[in-house]
Structures are given as C-alpha cells and as structure tokens.
Amino acid sequence: MIPAALLDDLIDRALAEDAGGGDITSLATVSATARAVGRALAKASLVVAGGDVFARVFYRVDPGARVERLVAEGTAVAAGDVLWVVEGATRSLLMAERTALNFAQRLSGIASLTAEYVKRIPAGTSLRITDTRKTTPGLRALERAAVRTGGGHNHRNDLGAAILIKDNHIAAAGGVGEALRRARALSPHPSRLEIEVETLGALDDALQNGADIVLLDNFAPGEVALAVERARGKALVEVSGGVTLHRIEELARAGVDVVSVGALTHSAPAADISFEIEPLS
C-alpha cells in the first residue's frame, strides 16, 4: 500500500502538468451537470497494477466520484476485461482519465513484465527476480510496488539502504580487498556486504575478503556455473547485466540466488488499457 500523502503529491504534480490550464474542450462541449460512468478495459492480456493510484486520481479531481475496483492487484486478465469502473461528473472523468491511465498503464506494464520473468523460474529452484534503482525519477515507490505485484522482489531502495560496492568504488578504493575492508570497518553490525565482480579472479578476491553477496556482472554462462560452485557456502550469488527472459531457467538451474533486472522498470512497455465513457441519463 502506497501512503496517501505520497500518492497525492505525485498525482497533483501530474494533474498540474496535464490539466493546469483547465480542460477547455470539455468545458466547451459538456454540460456542467452531466454525469457519466467510465470503464477501464484491458486491450490485451496483462497483470493488473496501479489500482490505488488510478482511483486516487479521480478522487483528487472530483471527491464525489465513485470508483469500483473489479479486479485485484496482481490478477492476470485478458483483452476485454473490465478493471475499474468510475462514476462521477462527466467533466471530471474527462479531465482525470489520461493521468489515471498513464499511471495504470505504466505500473501494469511493469507488473506484467515482472510476471513473465517470474514464470520462467523452474519449480524446485530458489531464484529470486529483483528490480534495480533504474526507475523513473519520482516514481520509484510506485514502480517498485508494481514489481512486487508482478511477483518479483525489490533490491536496495536507495543509496542509504545497503552497501553495494561497484566497479567505480573498487577503482577508487584501490581494489576488491581494500574496498571490502573499508566497507566492513564502517558498516552497521547487521549489514551484509555486496560487491560487484567482473572476473573469476575478482570473485576469489571477494570471497577471501569476506563478501556476503557477490554480484556477477556480465559473466558468460560457463563462468556463472563456476562462480556458483566457488561461492557455495560462502556468499550468495547475484547475476546482473542484460539478463533476458530466455536465460532465467539456465541461471536458476545453475544455483544463482538472485537475478537483478533493470529492464523491469526502465524498459517495460506500457500495458494497453482504455477508458470508455457512457453518459448517465
């Protein structure tokens, strides 16, 4: 559940962007007393996400609107299924519909792509699919919620949430071992140290210096299996870097613990959802 205060701030800024100058077309063509019902329909198969923000947009425009959510978050639906029904002043529905759909299409797209990745995990394996910080500025909380809705997990939320030593940190510190020693000295007691490695040699260095999680960056398939074997019982293994759907089964069967996929948030196509209005007599 996204806090209402956060939703309202995001929605108000989005509405100001789209309707800050009013809706002159609706003012010109629609009676001030007209009322209507609008139905949001899936135009293709998708996993539903963003119902909270979709409804909240209409409430921000018209507190007297009524939104009925027919489908639960995370539900897989088919083309033609009705997701949400909104009743209210026609002008309000017309003013709110694009902003509401922009949020819902974006979030349902993320949930749908995440679900596709999760489906590729073979039964009996323990692989987790996670997102990354490659999110739309200002929308991270919503997009990460959509990943969870699609069955995925969240990686660190921000720079202050966990220690993740990457290639530039290693270069600045003077090497894998020195970077880990410095991080260990300053990290809180419960923290786990994760470090990115680009070669099997760097992996060995990380394991010898007490890494809790090793992030294999762009390892070849054969190298992944070797890395998992070397890290067994010493550190969790995460794989990142251009991981496509067809590699998920291979990585799961190799014993990888986590696959982080930036594409879940930076490249998910928007879901196809329409909003059809019917006047009320």
68 contacts: CB under 8 Å, gap ≥ 6: 84, 85, 86
Q: What 3-state class would DSSP assign to 234?
A: coil
Tell me which amino acid residue 66 is: R
Residues acting as catalytic residues: 98, 134, 166, 196, 217
What lies within 8 Å, CB to CB, of 78 at 6+ separation is 42, 45
Cα separation, 236 vs 265, in Å, equals 24
Contacts of 252 (CB under 8 A, 6+ apart): 120, 121, 122, 125, 126, 127
Torsions phi, psi of 15, nearest 5? -65, -40
